[in-house]
Structure 1
Amino acid sequence: MKPIIVILMIISTMAFAPRLSAQGSEVQSSKSGIAEGLWEGSLTLRQSTGVGAAGGSLGQGSLSSGIRLKILAKCMGALLDIPDQSMFGYPLDDVTWTDTRIRFSFDALGPGEELGFDGFYSPSAGVKTSSGDKPSSGAIIGTANAASWKGSFLLSRASIVSVPGENTLSVPTEDGSLPGTLRLPDSGQEYPPLILLLAGAGTTDRNGNNYNVPGRSDCLSMVAEALSARGVATFRYDKRGSGEAYTLERQGMTTSLLKHADDAAHVLRFLSSLDRFSRITVMGMNEGAWSGAAAISILEREGLNIDGFVAVDASGEEPIDELESSLEGLEEGLRSEAEAIVRALKAGEAFEVPSEALADFFAASRREWLKAWLNFKPADEVARLKTPVLFIYGSADLQVPREAFEKLLD
């Protein structure tokens, strides 16, 4: 059965309701000592040698900047903001903490310049945060050291401003929980419709931000806000490898498209079990549309029907075709080697260790992802859906050409 298809071509960028200022309540832990939550303060660094090995995103010389540290639940890590450097939600490594001490490492200074933080809680110290909070009782005071950088930091507990209608909600999976945000409209509806928002490729988090891209777009949180104003509930979550779920991705590995689809199916089962929404629709952006369509297919095979699917700026080009086009620029020997590896990956067969020129692309950490990616056929996946489908394309899209988008309609 072919899906009911509605095509919407947007001639300009998608327009949403103006972004509202958060006017919710402030949430701050009253627990003494180091605890999960938001901490805010300052970081000062200087190079300890004349010529450093840094040259990374923070530059050379010295740095004095405000920072924010979000400590997550035990074993879930922590995220660092350095607003002056347009860096937000940077995932930290080797995070350990107790009531009195916290340690973590930060790898954005450049090769060989991993910055190690070591801080202790002082109940008598305090610092006024940039949000205007009064100096709190107690602060984390510590050092930050790398091969050629030395410095110190000071952090005080800060308030998290909640957004009206938004609630944190984690969805359990077989090997961890996916942290998310449920936004309910202030419309008085007992059973509002709900849209599951799925972020795109890479490390894009629930709000549409990617720590590898400077600044913040908050595109998905703005979509949620606009839909809330129209009486529609939304749920968005951090997928593996992104946001507060970055530790759910195995160290050095790239999560496969099929795993993301399986997680999305878990989320849809969970939302359906709440029995409080009149209908549930999935809306995915670029590769989020691919995993969303695959998740709906999983549920349809189980007999659980989703009420609709929206593909936003998604490509219909098959990954194998995209890869084969890129291989045409290689010299003949490398191209033949790459083609042989691709055939083996698709068939699930073993292959010889790739040559140096191809080693990174076909690294062991990427093979699970590559196999799923190369075998995925987005147009076929969408075509087999039983639910109604809406296609949305913005002509200002810089990632997905219109020709690639239109292949979804074939």
Structure 2
Amino acid sequence: MKKGMLYIMAIFMGLILISGCEKKDTAKKDESMMEVLSGKWTGTIMVHNQPLDIIVSLNKNDGWSGNISIPVQGVNDYPLSSVTVNNKNISFFMKIQGQQISFDGNVDNNKIEGNFSQHGQTFSFELTKSDEGDQTADNTGEFLSVQTDNGRLYGELEEPSGEGPFPVMIIIPGSGPTDRNGNSPAIQGKNNSLKLLAEQLSEHGIASVRYDKRGVGKNVEAAIPENELDFNQFVHDAKTWVEQLAQEEAYTKVGIIGHSQGSLVGMVAARDSNADAFISIAGAGHPIDQVLYDQLKGQLSGELL
């Protein structure tokens, strides 16, 4: 009888120890996930193959909560209605104008990938952990900034070695969400074309400042709602860079290099400012209405085209 009681007690103690270990493991996993998820995440929703930039902030107090910003739609720090975390799966929701919008993704290190659902339609989304709200992987360079009527813009400076002053070129990227380095989330992989250009200029004694457009990369938080954004805003931003750099003693002359749509922007900005030079890379060779028609005819048809 005593042996039987001792046997039962041993089993009971063993179960208590196992239960305690499981609770500790669960607590460690929760703590680890809290460390991974807490903070700011930036990324895109691919809506009909067009990237829509978003910023999501997550935090945990008594439970998980957060907010979301969609800069080009004028949505800033909109509270998420609920956030659910289960191991490496995270789901968060927002209710807006009576509609429920959901995100369901999986966490892998500093990345969240999954599906975004609205109005019965589902699109993919991807977020990357970024405390500074910068979508570009390389954010370790030296940055300058200009203050505009619609927020502050940042540009990455590339300078030659040795003592200045140097001539400086402002590099303007092309259309869509193309960043200051020449990369776009709509195109797989990175070409770093504009970054390589800046580095080559530096080797030839020419400084450069390349900047992300509003709503992209380093300037994602300077986005203007799409219904308020027009071409002249991009021109005004480029002119602001020219005017500021022209006042700096570190630079002898200020020029503009524009790629694709950036060529159109730079052309007008160079004409309307005191820019000393303008270089067009793959700029439009036809009127813009014809260019837009040629681009859209592969996506639209009939009366819509």
CA distance in 1, matches of 2:82, 2:220: 19
Which residues of 2 match residues 135-174 of structure 1 at below 5 A?
144-145=90-91, 149=104, 151=106, 166-174=141-149
Distance 1:151 1:318, change over 3 A: closer
Q: Is residue 191 of structure 2 the alignment partner of residue 217 of structure 1?
A: yes
Q: Which residue of 2 aligns with 1:184?
A: 159
Residue pair 2:259, 2:281 contacting (<8 A) in 1 also = yes
Residue pair 1:180, 1:238 contacting (<8 A) in 2 also = yes
Structure 1: which amino acid aligns with 2:286? E
SS in 2 for 1:270: helix
Residue pair 1:69, 1:79 contacting (<8 A) in 2 also = no
Distance apart, 1:148 and its partner CA:
8.5
CA distance in 1, matches of 2:212, 2:179: 5
More helix by share: 2
- Cα RMSD between the aligned structures? 4.3
More strand by share: 2
CA distance in 2, matches of 1:204, 1:217: 11
Q: Which residue of 2 aligns with 1:262?
A: 236
Q: Which residue of 1 aligns with 2:282?
A: 313
Which residues of 2 match residues 278-293 of structure 1 at below 5 A?
278-293=252-267
Distance apart, 1:203 and its partner CA:
1.3
CA distance in 1, matches of 2:155, 2:82: 28
SS in 1 for 2:221: helix
CA distance in 2, matches of 1:97, 1:283: 42
CA distance in 1, matches of 2:154, 2:37: 20
Distance apart, 1:265 and its partner CA:
0.4
CA distance in 2, matches of 1:317, 1:69: 48
Distance 1:145 1:233, change over 3 A: same
Distance apart, 1:319 and its partner CA:
1.7
Offset from partner CA, 1:111-160 (integer Å, 9 cap, x none):
xxxx999599xxxxxxxxxxxxxxxxxxxx986116584655666999x9
Offset from partner CA, 1:65-111 (integer Å, 9 cap, x none):
xx99994xxxxxx4249xxxxxxx9832454669997735699xxxx
SS in 2 for 1:170: strand
Distance apart, 1:269 and its partner CA:
0.8
Distance 1:324 1:200, change over 3 A: closer
CA distance in 2, matches of 1:265, 1:217: 27
Distance apart, 1:280 and its partner CA:
1.3
SS in 2 for 1:92: strand
Structure 1: which amino acid aligns with 2:284? S
CA distance in 2, matches of 1:99, 1:190: 51
Q: Which residue of 2 aligns with 1:233?
A: 207
Residue pair 1:198, 1:236 contacting (<8 A) in 2 also = yes
Residue pair 2:42, 2:55 contacting (<8 A) in 1 also = no
CA distance in 2, matches of 1:236, 1:244: 11
Residue pair 1:199, 1:205 contacting (<8 A) in 2 also = yes
Distance 1:218 1:249, change over 3 A: same
CA distance in 1, matches of 2:199, 2:81: 38
CA distance in 1, matches of 2:196, 2:37: 22
Which residues of 2 match residues 2-401 of structure 1 at below 5 A?
71=40, 78-80=41-43, 91-95=53-57, 103=66, 144-145=90-91, 149=104, 151=106, 166-186=141-161, 188-253=162-227, 255-299=229-273, 305-322=274-291, 334=303, 357=304
CA distance in 1, matches of 2:232, 2:286: 17
Q: Which residue of 2 aligns with 1:55?
A: none
CA distance in 1, matches of 2:109, 2:267: 46
Unmatched segments (≥5 aa) in structure 2: 1-31, 45-50, 71-79, 93-101, 111-128, 132-136
SS in 1 for 2:156: strand
Structure 2: which amino acid aligns with 1:198? I
Distance apart, 1:291 and its partner CA:
0.4
Structure 2: which amino acid aligns with 1:185? P
CA distance in 2, matches of 1:259, 1:251: 12
The percent identity for this pair of structures is 22
Distance 1:148 1:318, change over 3 A: closer
Distance apart, 1:285 and its partner CA:
0.5
CA distance in 1, matches of 2:195, 2:208: 10
Q: TM-score, normalization: structure 2? A: 0.58
Residue pair 2:170, 2:209 contacting (<8 A) in 1 also = yes
- Tell me the number of residue pairs that the alignment of Structure 1 and Structure 2 aligns: 220
Structure 2: which amino acid aligns with 1:244? K
Q: Which residue of 2 aligns with 1:391?
A: none
Structure 2: which amino acid aligns with 1:175? N
CA distance in 2, matches of 1:265, 1:215: 31
SS in 1 for 2:235: helix
